[in-house]
Structure 1
Amino acid sequence: MLTTSHILSCSPPHLVCALAEQVLARYDRDAVTFISGPRCVLVQLRMIEGVAETVFNGGEILVTETRLELAGQFGFGMVIGRDPDHATALAVLDAALRMPGDPHADLRPRIAELGQALSAAYERRFAAAAATRVEFETF
C-alpha cells in the first residue's frame, strides 16, 4: 500500500501542482505563510545492508523542501532533485489533508487515482526487469 506522501512525491509534478491549485483557490492569498523554502539541500541517503541488515549512509542526495502554513495548518513537502513548484505543492496538499474535520476530503479520490496509476507503472517496470532475470541454477 502506497502512502499519500509517496504517491504525491512520485506522481507527475504537473498533476500534483494542479491539485494544489484547486486547494489554493479556496483560500485568500494571505492564507499561505512560508516558514522556509522552497530550498535545495543535501540529505543523507540511508540504506540497509542486505546480509547483516545494518543501516549505513550511502551518500548524499539533492532534495527540494518547503515548509509552510495554510490557514494556520503546518505543511511539509520534499522531492528528490531541484523542483520548487512540486515541493511547494506537496506542502500545500500536506497542510490541506492535515486540517481538522477533513475539509479537503474531495482530494482523496484524486490521490487514489494517482496511486493506482503509480502502482501500474511500478508493475510495468517490475515486469520489464523480471524479463531480464537470470536463473543462476540453470548455469
Structure 2
Amino acid sequence: MYPITHILSCSPAHEVAALSATVLARYPAEALVFITEPRTALVQLRMAEGVAESQFNAGEILVSEALLELAGHFGFGMVIGRDLQHATALAILDAALRMPGDPHADLRPHIDALSAALAAAQERRFAAAAATRVVFDTF
C-alpha cells in the first residue's frame, strides 16, 4: 500500500483534479486560502550510495508545489514537473483528508482505485524489465 500523497502525485492529473473539485463543491469559495501561490521550484534529488549507504545529492528536479488552507486545515501538494493544477489539487485533497472526523471518507474508495491502478502499472513495468534480465551464471 502506498501513502496517499504518493498515490495522488503519481495518478493522472485530471483524476486528481476531479476529486479535488468534489471537495471544493462542499465549501464556499472563501474557505480556500492560498498561503503561497502555486509555483515551480527546484529541489535536490537525494540518493543513497549502494555500498556505504551514504547520502549524496544527485542533482536538481523541477517540481510544482502548492501550499494552502481549506476551511482552516493545512494542505500541501508537490509533483515532479511543471503542473501547477495537479499540485493544487493534491494540496486540496491533502487538506481535506487531514480534517478531523474524516468528513471526506467517500474519497477513500476512489483513492483505493487509483492505488490499485498504480500498483498494476508498476507490476507491468517490472514484468517488462524482468523479460530483459540477463542471467550471467548461464554464460
Match in the other structure for 2:24: 24
Match in the other structure for 1:83: 83
Q: Secondary structure of the equivalent of 2:121?
A: helix
Match in the other structure for 1:11: 11
Q: Secondary structure of the equivalent of 1:42?
A: strand
| RMSD value, Cα | 0.6
Q: Secondary structure of the equivalent of 1:61?
A: strand
**Using the alignment, how far apart are the partners of 2:112 and 2:50 within structure 1?**
32
Q: Which runs of 4+ in 1 moved over 4 A?
A: none
Paired AA for residue 134 in structure 1: V
1:59-92 CA distances to partner (integer Å, 9 max, x unpaired)?
Answer: 0000000000000000000000000000000000
Match in the other structure for 1:107: 107
Match in the other structure for 2:64: 64
Match in the other structure for 2:45: 45
Match in the other structure for 1:130: 130
**Using the alignment, how far apart are the partners of 1:79 and 1:49 within structure 2?**
24
Paired AA for residue 104 in structure 1: H
Percent identical pairs in the alignment equals 72
Match in the other structure for 2:96: 96
Give 5+ residue unaligned stretches, structure 2. none
Match in the other structure for 1:54: 54
**Using the alignment, how far apart are the partners of 1:72 and 1:43 within structure 2?**
28
TM-score (norm 2): 0.99
**Using the alignment, how far apart are the partners of 2:132 and 2:2 within structure 1?**
26
